[in-house]
Amino acid sequence: MAIMDFDKETEKLYYTIGEVADMFAVNASLIRFWEKEFEVLKPKKNKKGNRLFTAEDVSNLKLIFHLVKERGYTLEGAKKKLNENKENIEEQVQIKETLVRMRQFLSELKESI
């Protein structure tokens, strides 16, 4: 599975659906589908109807991506888990991201030796 880089997300106030899809290495259609399925996703729309995702939307997408794509939850299971214990999932995602960054650092350190 590809390693995602979410560090750039804090640079902007709004992200287009294409930018968000690129962050997660998925099709924009999947993001639109998840928007319909998960109440926590509420991107704003401009006058043209283009979706504008906030940092909070991206954060919620991280949780959904983690549950559905990485942990293998069904959509219903992911919805239930988000409603029951969102804070625990956020903590798990942060731990995973920290471990991925540590692994990258250690790999780079090993190669430089």
What's the distance, CA 25 to chain centroid?
A: 10
**pTM of this structure:** 0.75
Domains delineated in the chain: 7-112 (1.10.1660.10)
Question: Could you tell me which of 46, 65, 59, 52 has the C-alpha nearest to residue 3?
Answer: 65
Identity at 34, one-letter amino acid code: W
Is 55 in contact with 9 (CB distance < 8 Å)?
A: yes
Instruction: Chunk the chain into consecutive blocks of 10 residues (it has 113) and report each block's average pLDDT, rounded to whole numbers.
Output: 52 91 96 94 92 94 94 94 84 88 92 89
Dihedral of alpha carbons 81, 82, 83, 85, sign? positive
